[in-house]
Amino acid sequence: MSTNHPRTRAVRAGINTDPAHGAVVPPVFMSTTYAFSGFDQPGAYDYSRAGNPTRSVLADAIADLEGGAGGVVTASGMAAVTAAVLALVPAGGTLVAPFDAYGGSWRLFDALERTGRLRLRLADFTGPDGPASVGDADVVWLETPSNPLLRITDLAAVSAAAHAAGARVVVDNTFASPAVQRPLEFGADVVVHSATKYLNGHSDVVAGVVVAASGELVDELAWWANTLGLTGGAFDSYLALRGLRTLHLRMAAAQRNASAIVELLAGHPAVAAVHYPGLPTHPQHELAARQMDGFGAIVTFDVGSEAAVRALVEGLDCFCLAESLGGVESLVSHSATMTHASMPPEVRAAAGITDGMLRLSVGVEDADDLVADLRAGLDRAAAAD
Ligand SMILES: *Cc1c(COP(=O)(O)O)cnc(C)c1O
Residue nearest atom 7 in ligand 1 by C-alpha distance: 77
Residues 204-218 pLDDT 10s: 999 999 999 999 999
Chain CA centroid to CA 115, Å: 27
Answer whether residue 1 is part of any domain: no
β-partners of residue 334 are 358
Contact between 120 and 93 (Cβ < 8 Å): no
Backbone angles phi, psi at 224, to 5 degrees: -65, -40
* Helices of type H across the chain: 6-12, 53-66, 77-88, 103-114, 155-164, 215-228, 234-244, 247-266, 285-291, 306-313, 345-350, 367-384
Single out the residue in 244, 268, 283 at which a domain terminates: 244
Q: For residue 194, how far is its CA from the centre of ligand 1 (angstroms)?
A: 4
For the chain, the first-to-last Cα distance in angstroms comes to 56
172 annotated active-site: yes
The answer to whether residues 206 and 100 belong to one domain is: yes
What is the C-alpha to C-alpha distance for residues 371 and 373, in angstroms, rounded to an integer? 5
Boundaries of domain holding 228: 6-244
The arithmetic mean of pLDDT across residues 13-22, rounded, is: 93
* Catalytic residue, candidates 7, 9, 49, 310: 49
pLDDT for 348? 85
Residue nearest atom 2 in ligand 1 by C-alpha distance: 194
The answer to whether residues 159 and 296 belong to one domain is: no
Q: What angle do CA 103, 80, 125 make, to 5 degrees?
A: 50
The answer to whether residues 369 and 274 belong to one domain is: yes
The answer to whether residues 37 and 161 belong to one domain is: yes
Residues with beta carbon inside 6 Å of ligand 1? Answer: 76-78, 102, 104-105, 143, 147, 172, 174-175, 194, 196-197, 206, 208
pLDDT for 1? 59
The answer to whether residues 262 and 200 belong to one domain is: no
Best mutation site among 106, 108, 196 for ligand 1, i.e. most ligand atoms within 8 A of its Cβ? 196
* Catalytic residue, candidates 172, 189, 236, 302: 172
The answer to whether residues 239 and 253 belong to one domain is: no
Residue 346 reports pLDDT greater than 90 = no
The answer to whether residues 204 and 308 belong to one domain is: no
β-partners of residue 143 are 172
Single out the residue in 220, 244, 268 at which a domain terminates: 244
197 annotated active-site: yes
pLDDT for 128? 86
Q: For residue 334, how far is its CA from the centre of ligand 1 (angstroms)?
A: 17
What is the C-alpha to C-alpha distance for residues 189 and 167, in angstroms, rounded to an integer? 10
Single out the residue in 211, 244, 277 at which a domain terminates: 244
Residue 324 CA: nearest ligand 1 atom is: 1
Residues 105-125 pLDDT 10s: 999 999 999 999 999 999 999
User: How much is the pTM?
Assistant: 0.97
Residue 385 reports pLDDT greater than 80 = no
pLDDT for 344? 82
pLDDT for 168? 98
Question: Letter for the amino acid at 328?
Answer: V
- Buried-exposed string 213-226: b where 16+ CB fall within 10 A, e elsewhere: beeebbebbbebbb
The answer to whether residues 165 and 311 belong to one domain is: no
Q: For residue 57, how far is its CA from the centre of ligand 1 (angstroms)?
A: 22
How many domains, in total, are found in the chain?
2
Residue nearest atom 6 in ligand 1 by C-alpha distance: 77
Answer whether residue 61 is part of any domain: yes
**What pLDDT band is residue 345 in, cutting at 50, 70 and 90?**
confident
Residue 197 CA: nearest ligand 1 atom is: 1
